[in-house]
Structure 1
Amino acid sequence: MKTRVKLSLIAFSLAATAFGSTPVFAQSAVPPKAVNVVLVHGAWADGSSWANVIPRLQAAGLNVTSVQNPLTSLADDVAATRRVLALQNGPTVLVGHSWAGTIVSEAGDDPKVTTLVYVAARAPDAGEDFNALAARYPTMPVRAGAKDHDGYVTLTEDAYLKYFGGDLPHDQALSLYATQQPIAKTLFSGRTTVAAWHDKPSWYAVSKQDQTTSPDLERFLAQRMHATTIELDSSHLSLVSHPKEIADLILAAAGRTQ
């Protein structure tokens, strides 16, 4: 670990209670103050999955936009995110959950984007075969509930409630299951051409109880990008079950006081 990171880790640990979680790795640079936040949802979800986070960011005075991804290909999803970024005026935090970590890694090279936030998210390097990387870690239970219908994949109710959003109240998880957006069968095969986290300060929220993506894979990705990292006692859907902690992490990336 670099000396500058060791020093910043001491300072960050003093503020850890603001997130209600455990700091793992911290950056030393103070992020520029952002005026916008662009939120990007993951697979088997839509933009409303950020509904509990958005009001907290708006209350802090940030302009917030939630992207609606088609989930048909990496290129299509990146294009949808770039269209939203084009409408922003000023420094912008780009946030991705789950699959959307791939999207923000690619679209995050936009000059308006000052910082990146990853929430239980993929974070491939440029050109990396992320599926091969993920195969080095345990296959999580949710995968057994992924069902292909005419080239599109959905999660079964059992997998969604038990594993995808296992820490959510039953009725809330059931509502999210009913509104899940199918993904193209080939969605996860797309490869990025850049990895914006090499050049942009990054934050990462690990879900310790994740049954969709291995928490150890999340930890590896966070450490690889030298992200300021917190760990939450959460399912894959920490943005739903822990909205305050996720909002606080985004506010930190936006250079806003807690």
Structure 2
Amino acid sequence: MKRILQAASVLALSAGVFGSANVMAQDGAPSAEAHAPIRNIVLVHGAWVDGSGWKPVYDILTRDGYHVTMVQEPLTSLDADVAATKRVLDLQNGPTILVGHSYGGSVITEAGVHPNVAGLVYVAAHAPNVGEDEGALGKKTPSFLAKQTDAVEKTTDGYTYLNPAVFPKDFAADLPLRQATFESRSQILTAAQVFTTPLSAAAWTTKPSWGIVAGGDKIINPDLERWYYERAHSHVTVIPGASHSVYESKPQQVAAVIEDAAKHAVQ
């Protein structure tokens, strides 16, 4: 009987020790849920194109379980494009990774102060600071496009588009010619003022960022992209030889950077 009581005491003590250890493990370490990746992704296109170009990246991200939304900007003014982005961010149900391509980088820089945004991803994109505009910064580090004459056309009411004759080789050199030609004929005319409007906020100064340099970019000088990302202390990925349409031509690599941001941005 004495031995039975001793055994019972040992078992009770063991249960208490293991129970306490279990409680300590739960209290002392974050749960798996706390380390779960952010599930919401919002994708913002650049000038002259629309959100449909994100489809290859969208397909990868949704297959991997992310909730992905594209913003369709009016491209009539920076304020209107930021408002369109914030409208979509309002609909997200929690922390979100905000991704911008090209001029879309300026848009996410300003819209990214939204409380739902946990991290930013720049894809061959501009990232001005407060009071700066991408047009002036582009002149300091001119691109191949900027050195061409008559590549960017302008309507009488102040809207721009890329000359369809140069669009395939300048904007999308690593896309199939048929696809690039179609995109050259489906451009969204973009107000010239969007390129020269100074930013009133810069989310990259307070939120983590990731940046993709398109090594063969002719629309934005790759050296300017590097400069932006180094200044923002971004996690930088260089994709050698990729055109400005890197989000379409190299979707796997672009999606991998976005997923890395989703896994490591602070929630």
The two structures share one fold, judged by TM-score above 0.5? yes
Q: Could you say which residue in structure 1 is the equivalent of 2:237?
A: 230
Within 5 Å, give how 1:1-258 maps onto structure 2: 33-141=37-145, 144=149, 145-150=151-156, 151-232=158-239, 233-255=241-263
CA distance in 2, matches of 1:116, 1:181: 24
1:176 offset after TM fit, Å? 1.4
**What is the aligned partner in structure 2 of residue 25 from structure 1?**
none
Gaps of 5+ in 2: 1-34
Counterpart Cα distance in 2 of 1:101 and 1:170: 26
User: Aligned AA for 1:171?
Assistant: R
Stretches of 4+ aligned residues off by more than 4 angstroms: none
Q: How far apart, CA to CA, are the structure 2 residues paired with 1:223 and 1:251?
A: 20
Separation of aligned partners in 2, 1:129 and 1:175: 30
> Partner letter of residue 105 of structure 1?
T
Partner AA of 2:203 in structure 1: A
Shift in CA distance, 226/75, structure 1 to aligned 2, threshold 3 Å: same
Choose between structure 1 and 2 for higher RCO, CA contacts under 8 A separated by at least 6 residues: 1
Instruction: Calculate percent identity across the aligned residue pairs.
Output: 44
Q: 1:196-241: per-residue Cα shift (whole Å, max 9, x none)?
A: 0011110000011011000100010010001111111201110011
Change (3 A) 1:32 1:197: farther
In the TM superposition, residue 129 of structure 1 has moved relative to its aligned partner by 3.8
Q: Is the 8 A contact 2:106 2:134 kept in 1?
A: no
- Aligned-pair CA distance for 1:33: 2.2
Q: Structure 1 CA distance, aligned partners of 2:133 and 2:83?
A: 21
**TM-score (ref. length: structure 2):** 0.82
- Shift, 1:127, TM fit: 1.1
Query: What is the CA distance between 1:32 and its match in structure 2?
Result: 7.0
Letter in 2 for 1:75: D
Distance 1:166 1:152 in 2: 24
- Distance across 2 between alignment mates of 1:131 and 1:107: 19
* SS at structure 2 position matched to 1:186: helix
Gaps of 5+ in 1: 1-30
Contact between 2:133 and 2:195, CA under 8 Å: does it hold in 1?
no
Q: Distance in 2 between matches of 1:160 and 1:251?
A: 30
Cα separation, partners in 2 of 1:72 and 1:228, compared to 1, 3 Å:
same
Compare CA radii of gyration and give the structure with the larger one: 2
Asked if the contact 2:145/2:170 (under 8 Å) is kept, the reply is yes
Deviation, 1:141, is 2.5
User: What is the SS of the residue equivalent to 1:70?
Assistant: coil
Q: Which TM-score applies when normalising by structure 1?
A: 0.84
Report if aligned partners of 1:122, 1:218 keep a CA contact under 8 Å in 2. yes
Q: How many Å separate the matches in 2 of 1:134 and 1:173? A: 24
Asked if the contact 1:40–1:68 (Cα under 8 Å) also holds between the matched residues in 2, the reply is yes
User: What's the RMSD between the two structures over aligned residues?
Assistant: 1.6
Alignment partners' CA distance in 2, 1:139 and 1:209: 11
* Deviation for aligned residue 1:131: 2.5
Any idea what SS the aligned residue of 1:135 has?
A: helix
Residues in 1 aligned to 2:200 and 2:254: alpha-carbon distance in whole angstroms? 28
1:180-201 CA-to-partner distances (Å, cap 9, x unmatched) read 1110122211111111001111
| Alpha-carbon distance in structure 1 between the residues aligned to 2:131 and 2:237 | 27
Q: CA deviation at 1:111?
A: 1.1
Partner-residue secondary structure (3-state), 2:100: strand
Does the Cα contact within 8 Å between 1:33 and 1:91 map onto a contact in 2?
Answer: no
Q: How many residues align?
A: 227
Query: In the superposition, relative to structure 1, how do residues 141 and 134 fare at CA in structure 2: closer, same or farther (>3 Å)?
Result: closer
Letter in 1 for 2:132: E
